[in-house]
């Protein structure tokens, strides 16, 4: 493979001159430039992108941190974010963080070391204090990481209210919602607060089942569904994310209960998983593609050194009627 030295030799100029032409910086005589470009062509020289990025102090790489790549919500998010990054000429690096919180710290280190130009994080493991000290481009998906880091999320208040109203319309008298750990500061916790509030306003008993899993694998969702089905036999309405909602339908069907005759379900997220079960799930849909492109647009602004217009982007949710509610 030809090197920059080979090009310089053939064009009978110095390496620095070739470098100026490659990086389009500094003055080079038209005649010399032409000679260099001819040499590049003749030698089939490909400029070493690492070196070029070093010069521009950019890597052309953004990292996505997610708890688990194969979870359908994060898989769809990554899919869309990669597409959006590509439209900016950016490569997409990904990082699972379910293994240990050190992975989150490791990637912050990469950012500090300029191995990536920016990070989009959908991760909740590290203490947010670790983020305060970093003056590099970071965008948070669905998490408050402090005043200096923009946060992109949906209108979870509206989502929680829609879910509650759907179960009320379906005639539920005692409902259960599956929530995450409440100590994490995420806008998505708001949907559970509103859900419970609307239920109480309507005189409906609401149980909060706190999920204990650290991982987002289907086995964990299935275990949770089994525990719920065995412990709470008199529930006639469930509110949970797509995966848990699908696992609940599966588990309760195995126990001979039928939906929506015996119980109603409203799912949250709207990934393809909500379309898989029979009956199909009534779902509050997060616009995952738009969330991803909003995160990427914001990150690219930060990479260019621009100030974002807002530190809190809230996108709308959508109600999709399925057959799991009346």
| Residue 297 binds to its own copies (criterion: CB under 8 A) | no
| Residue 119 binds to its own copies (criterion: CB under 8 A) | no
Q: Do the beta carbons of residue 283 and residue 322 sit within 8 Å?
A: yes
Angle in degrees, CA 198, 200, 203, rounded to 5: 115
| Residue 237 binds to its own copies (criterion: CB under 8 A) | no
The whole-angstrom separation of Cα 73 and Cα 307 is: 29
Pick one of 94, 105, 210, 326: the residue that binds its own copies (CB under 8 A): 94
Binding segment toward its own copies, per CB under 8 A, in 8-16, 67-75, 124-132, 142-150: 67-75
114 or 155: CB nearest its own copies: 114
Rounded to the nearest whole angstrom, what is the least distance from the CB of residue 49 to its own copies in the complex? 4
Helix (H) / strand (E) containing 206: strand 205-210
The pair of structure tokens assigned to 272 is 């393809």
- Which residue intervals of the chain are DSSP H helices? 4-11, 15-23, 30-42, 49-56, 72-87, 102-112, 129-132, 156-169, 189-201, 218-231, 242-254, 288-303
Pick one of 218, 290, 314, 315: the residue that binds its own copies (CB under 8 A): 218
| Residue 37 binds to its own copies (criterion: CB under 8 A) | no
| Residue 108 binds to its own copies (criterion: CB under 8 A) | no
Pick one of 16, 49, 210, 326: the residue that binds its own copies (CB under 8 A): 49
Q: How many CA atoms lie within 13 A of 97 on its CB side?
A: 21
Look up tokens 């005589």; give the residue.
Answer: 29
Residues that bind its own copies (CB under 8 A): 46-51, 53-54, 59-61, 63, 68-70, 72, 75-76, 78-79, 82-83, 86, 91-96, 99, 103, 109-110, 112-115, 217-218, 222, 246-247, 249-250, 253-254, 272-273, 275-278, 280
């Amino acid at each position: 493979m030809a090197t920059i030295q080979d090009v310089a030799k053939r064009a009978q100029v110095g390496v620095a001159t070739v470098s100026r032409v490659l990086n389009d910086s500094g003055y080079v005589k038209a005649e010399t430039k032409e000679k260099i470009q001819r040499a590049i062509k003749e030698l089939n020289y490909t400029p070493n992108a690492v070196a070029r990025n070093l010069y521009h102090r950019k890597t052309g790489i953004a990292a996505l941190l997610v708890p688990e790549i194969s979870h359908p919500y994060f898989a769809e998010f990554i899919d869309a974010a990669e597409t959006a990054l590509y439209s900016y000429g950016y490569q997409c690096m990904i990082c699972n963080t379910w293994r240990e919180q050190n992975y989150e710290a490791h990637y912050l280190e990469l950012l500090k070391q300029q191995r990536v130009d920016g990070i989009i994080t959908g991760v909740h493991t590290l203490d947010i204090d670790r983020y305060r000290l970093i003056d590099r481009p970071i965008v948070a998906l669905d998490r408050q990481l402090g005043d200096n880091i923009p946060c992109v999320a949906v209108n979870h208040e509206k989502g929680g209210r829609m879910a509650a109203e759907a179960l009320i319309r379906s005639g539920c008298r005692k409902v259960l919602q599956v929530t995450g750990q409440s100590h994490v500061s995420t806008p998505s916790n708001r949907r559970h607060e509103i859900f419970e509030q609307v239920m109480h306003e309507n005189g409906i008993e609401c149980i909060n089942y706190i999920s204990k899993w650290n991982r987002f694998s289907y086995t964990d969702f299935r275990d949770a569904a089994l525990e719920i089905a065995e412990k709470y036999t008199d529930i006639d309405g469930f509110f949970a994310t797509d995966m848990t909602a699908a696992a609940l339908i599966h588990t309760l069907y195995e126990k001979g209960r039928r939906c929506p005759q015996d119980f109603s379900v409203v799912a949250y997220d709207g990934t393809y998983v909500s379309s898989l079960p029979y009956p199909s799930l009534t779902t509050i849909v997060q616009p995952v593609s738009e969330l991803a492109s909003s995160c990427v647009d914001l990150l690219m602004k930060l990479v260019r050194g621009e100030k974002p217009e807002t530190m809190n982007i809230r996108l709308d949710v959508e109600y999709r009627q399925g057959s799991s509610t009346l």
